[in-house]
Amino acid sequence: QVQLVESGGGLVQAGGSLRLSCVPSRNILANRAMCWYRQAPGKERELVASITPGGYTEYADSVLGRFSISRDTKNTLWLQMNSLKPEDTAVYYCNFRFSYGNVWGQGTQVTVSS
């Protein structure tokens, strides 16, 4: 069973940038999609961005034009976050979707101050 380790979260001012990473314990490509979710206190976990094995990307309307999802040759998943807003504050989780199910990272906190 692959494990996903996330890092890159932190505290930034509004308008700032962060880059999150999600490193699998072994080189593996999710055969359905690789995704970033986030969950703010008191809210449901929501899909932020996804990328397919073929490189097709989708974004939530709230982050479109500000966030960019990508993966590298080691299948580390990245989320570049620019022009951050206080409403982006949440715990961010990576998710690898396989045909048999999903694997989740442990989460990394992103806090954006006004």
pLDDT at 26: 86
pLDDT tens for 21-67 read: 999 998 877 778 999 999 999 999 999 999 999 999 999 999 999 99
pLDDT at 54: 92
In whole angstroms, what is the distance from residue 48 CA to residue 79 CA? 10
In whole angstroms, what is the distance from residue 110 CA to residue 92 CA? 7
Q: Which of 82, 83, 56 is nearest to 70 (CA)?
A: 56
CB atoms within 10 A of CB 99: 7
- Per-residue pLDDT for 14 more than 90? yes
pLDDT tens for 59-90 read: 999 999 999 999 998 889 999 999 999 999 99
Contact (Cβ atoms closer than 8 angstroms) between residue 92 and residue 36: yes
Please name every residue paired with 18 in a beta bridge, in sequence order, or none if there are none: 81
